[in-house]
């Protein structure tokens, strides 16, 4: 099962990455959206990209989506490990993978059923000659909207590479 996901996150000046929100979209249509209830916005400079582009679209710490980082990791684990032969896919996915992995501690603590690598739609696009990717009609930098777009982009590249009715990597 392919899982398309995206984190919004804050880079703490080279001292780690803090998740703000995460969206997952499974190939079978299931979706998951969660926010880090304890993200400390006071550490984010007022002129930071996140203030204008991420904060306005969050549901907020009082919403049903707001969970601790531990709950975030456990919920993602339950969401993904319902299926086998799982793949994780992101777009410019390296930071997303580290943000995901660190929900569980060290790299070796990644739960069974969660891949140790996130495959990158950007790399697929480069391999295929960097064709124009689909436009994103939902708001950008909302983690679930971005995860949905990741699936659209993967679907597009798959058809670009293989034609209709054939499933790629
Ligand atoms: Mg995003």
From ligand 1's centre to the CA of 18, what distance in Å? 14
The pLDDT tens digits of the residues spanning 13-38 come to 778 899 999 999 999 999 999 999 99
The tokens for 48 are: 């930071």
The pLDDT tens digits of the residues spanning 36-53 come to 999 999 999 999 999 999
**Residue in 105, 112, 107, 110 with CA at minimum distance from that of residue 82:** 112
Tell me what pLDDT residue 128 has. Answer: 95
The pLDDT tens digits of the residues spanning 92-104 come to 999 999 999 999 9
From ligand 1's centre to the CA of 11, what distance in Å? 14
Which residues lie near ion ligand 1 (Cβ < 5 Å)? Answer: 6, 146
Neighbouring CB atoms inside 10 A of 89's CB total 25
**Residue in 3, 1, 20 with CA at minimum distance from that of residue 11:** 20
pLDDT surpasses 80 at 167: no
**Residue in 119, 109, 112, 146 with CA at minimum distance from that of residue 21:** 146
pLDDT, average across residues 102-118: 95
Cα–Cα distance, 45 to 51 (Å, whole number): 8
pLDDT surpasses 80 at 164: no
> What percent of the chain stands above pLDDT 70?
98
| Domains of the chain from N-terminus onward | 2-161 (3.30.420.10)
From ligand 1's centre to the CA of 30, what distance in Å? 18
**Residue in 144, 145, 120, 123 with CA at minimum distance from that of residue 135:** 145
pLDDT surpasses 90 at 137: no
Cα–Cα distance, 151 to 162 (Å, whole number): 16
Please give the C-alpha separations between residue 62 and each of 37, 47, 50, 59, 157, in angstroms, as whole numbers: 8, 25, 19, 8, 38
Cβ neighbors of 133 (< 8 A, separation 6 or more) are 125, 153, 156, 157
Cα–Cα distance, 168 to 159 (Å, whole number): 8
Local structure of 26: helix, strand or coil: strand
What is this structure's pTM? Answer: 0.94
The pLDDT tens digits of the residues spanning 138-148 come to 888 899 999 99
Instruction: Give the Cα-Cα-Cα angle 17, 18, 21 (nearest 5 degrees).
Output: 125
């Amino acid at each position: 099962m392919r899982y398309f996901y995206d984190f919004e996150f804050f880079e703490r000046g080279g001292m780690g990455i803090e998740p703000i929100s995460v969206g997952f979209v499974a190939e079978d249509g299931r979706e998951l959206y969660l926010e880090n209830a304890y993200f400390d916005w006071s550490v984010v400079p007022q002129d930071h990209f996140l203030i204008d582009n991420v904060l306005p679209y969050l549901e907020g710490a009082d919403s049903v989506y707001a969970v601790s980082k531990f709950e975030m990791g456990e919920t993602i684990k339950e969401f993904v490990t319902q299926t086998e032969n799982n793949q994780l896919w992101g777009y410019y996915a390296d930071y997303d993978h580290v943000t995901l992995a660190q929900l569980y501690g060290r790299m070796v603590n990644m739960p069974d059923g969660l891949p140790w690598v996130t495959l990158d739609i950007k790399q697929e696009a480069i391999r295929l000659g960097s064709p124009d990717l689909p436009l994103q009609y939902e708001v950008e930098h909302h983690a679930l909207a971005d995860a949905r777009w990741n699936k659209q982009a993967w679907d597009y590249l798959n058809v670009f590479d293989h034609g209709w009715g054939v499933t790629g990597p």
